[in-house]
Structure 1
Amino acid sequence: MYTFIINPHSRSGKGLTIWHTVEAQLEQRQICYTAFFTKYQRQATTYVRKLTSDGSSRVLVVLGGDGTLNEVINGICFPERVTLGYIPTGSSNDFARSFGIPNDPLRALEIILNPGRTVHMDVGTMSYEGKHRRFAVSAGIGFDAAICHEAVVSKWKRILNRIHLGKFTYAVIALHRLLLTSTCPFHIVLDDEKEVSFPKGWFAAVMNHPCEGGGFYFCPDARPDDGQLDVLVVSGLKAPALLLTLPFALFGKHTKFHGVHLFRCKKVSIHTASALPVHTDGEPVFLQRCFTASIEACPLKVIVS
């Protein structure tokens, strides 16, 4: 039995059409499945919490973007009893990129129905103000999170998705955010031991996978199964220098640039002088001045290419 969690509004409303293509294949092959459709934000979390609360073994298949995937992961009650499949229909699809899952929905479905390989993926947790939120790909604060916040309401995301250029959404919005964002003092604590301060921080990205934002390889050596988080802090650059540095991150070639700092740890606490935008897997979190990120004890089994 496969349980599909479907965001019909993903890829600017094409998610439902994609599901019909997938559904036809399931019917043709007489595959047993159930399907749940999301209508509003966080509904996927509610669905999955109910579905997994009894602790039974289950294969969950997400048809949506990284945001829908984030909602599903946050609803899983017994991760050790769940196997996760993914059919990417978002604009960034960094989770799929990391695992080699094809964007073609029928090819992705074939991998799920004939799973040749699974991996045990680390699951990150962000803690803030007594709350906890899981993430699969990344979490962050500052400039990159501000881009995620704007992407939720930006007309550019819809326009670029329609012409199959959705992966450039974050790059376009980044140009706009540069005009509105200023630096802020950051203080980072790694594994409760090492402390580092940055007087003019742009953003800090906590990475479980190598890339976020539609293919920006902020931490190119990050691995989702090594029990550690990779942290990128960008600080001390003027806006034009940041603008010149970011394109190199599309190829993971930014790491030697001035102002780019990389760390690896099991736990990181980030404190900022002012409340800044925060995200988990591109999903906005209310403005925060501090949060802690770590790896959960139980990994999640994922079907990969």
Structure 2
Amino acid sequence: MPAEIAVLVNPAARGGRSRGLLSPVLDRLRQGGREVSVILGDSASDALERACTAVAEQPEALVAFGGDGLVHLAVQAVAGSGVPLGVIPVGTGNDIAAALGIPLKAPLAAADTVLRGRVRTVDAAKAGEDEWFAGVLACGFDSRVNERANTMTWPPGMARYLVALAEELRSFRPIPFRIDLDGEIVEREAMLVAVGNTSSYGAGMRVCPGAVPDDGLLDVTILGAIPKGEFLRTFPRVYRGSHGAHPAVTMLRARRVSLEAPGVIAYADGERVGPTPLTCEIVPGALTVLV
């Protein structure tokens, strides 16, 4: 029998604008005699259950057709399974795909990447008992912006996050963090702490610019307490990855990172993980990806 490629689909990616791209991608994947099945759940939990069932049958690959949120869901299914993960990046951010060198804004080229079958073994991280993440875990100002944006119904897309950012900034105060990095304790008031397996989040913000996904380490960026005006001047540097030169920024590496911060909800790969305290631990070689 021909090998099967299971395609996990998020029809709401980019506000539904990705739907017209799906049929050409499926046609391309069927080239060469591949069998292609489509996984479309009624909810995130249903989609995950269906993806886990597909992975248990050892397909040639599980392919995430969507953005970082769908990749995050797919990682829950494939981590540690040996089933390769493919990505067709049609979401808003696509930071994980960018970190893996998968073609962006070119779904058919990404489909060709899946068909070529070149594999790379990379790390993934666990947050808490059983939540995997492949990209960046955010904790602090950035995660509070996410939390606020998720309660809003307007405006759509990235504009919602810009509005949430402006609203959060009005009331935000630095947060007292306690961070355990492989037993070394850091206690500091901070604007945010980011824990990265890869370098960027939020559609290109290189918050952990030195992070690479196969070094067996997590990169930790701490932006200490600074006045709001200074924060507004400093934060845009994250798009160039040059914020590390600021005296309030500390960048560290560890295999295991525990975070404590009152009233803070952590987000990983843009998805809600839950409140601190929370421990993140790298698992070397947990993912096989098609690149």
**Alpha-carbon spacing, 1:21–1:169, altered in 2? closer, same or farther (3 Å):** farther
Q: CA deviation at 1:99?
A: 1.6
Of all paired residues, the percent bearing the same amino acid is 28
SS where residue 143 of structure 2 aligns? helix
- The 8 Å contact of residues 137 and 207 in structure 1, kept in 2 or not, is answered as yes
**Alpha-carbon spacing, 1:53–1:113, altered in 2? closer, same or farther (3 Å):** closer
**Alpha-carbon spacing, 1:152–1:89, altered in 2? closer, same or farther (3 Å):** farther
* Rounded Cα–Cα distance in structure 2 between residues aligned with 1:216 and 1:26: 31
Q: CA deviation at 1:191?
A: 0.6
* Rounded Cα–Cα distance in structure 2 between residues aligned with 1:278 and 1:149: 9
Q: For 1:1-305, list aligned pairs within 5 A.
A: 1-27=4-30, 30-53=33-56, 56=58, 58-76=60-78, 79-103=80-104, 104-115=106-117, 117-127=118-128, 131-155=129-153, 158=156, 160=157, 166=158, 170-171=161-162, 173-192=164-183, 194-198=184-188, 200-272=189-261, 274-286=262-274, 288-296=275-283, 298-304=285-291
Q: CA deviation at 1:155?
A: 4.6
Q: CA deviation at 1:28?
A: 5.9
Give the AA of the match of 1:150: R
SS where residue 175 of structure 1 aligns? helix
* Rounded Cα–Cα distance in structure 2 between residues aligned with 1:157 and 1:258: 35
Q: CA deviation at 1:126?
A: 0.5
**Alpha-carbon spacing, 1:232–1:171, altered in 2? closer, same or farther (3 Å):** farther
Q: Structure 2: where are the runs of 5+ without partners? A: none
- The 8 Å contact of residues 44 and 75 in structure 1, kept in 2 or not, is answered as no
Give the AA of the match of 2:198: H
- The 8 Å contact of residues 266 and 276 in structure 2, kept in 1 or not, is answered as no
- The 8 Å contact of residues 121 and 285 in structure 2, kept in 1 or not, is answered as no
**Alpha-carbon spacing, 1:87–1:156, altered in 2? closer, same or farther (3 Å):** farther
- The normalised TM-score by structure 2 is 0.91
Q: Structure 1: where are the runs of 5+ without partners? A: 161-165
Give the AA of the match of 2:47: A
- The normalised TM-score by structure 1 is 0.87
- The 8 Å contact of residues 30 and 36 in structure 2, kept in 1 or not, is answered as no
Q: CA deviation at 1:27?
A: 4.7
User: For each residue in 1:179-214, what CA deviation from the matched residue of structure 2 results, as whole angstroms up to 9, or x when unmatched?
Assistant: 23221211111112x11110x211111000011111
Q: How many residues align?
A: 287
Give the aligned CA root-mean-square deviation in angstroms.
Answer: 2.0
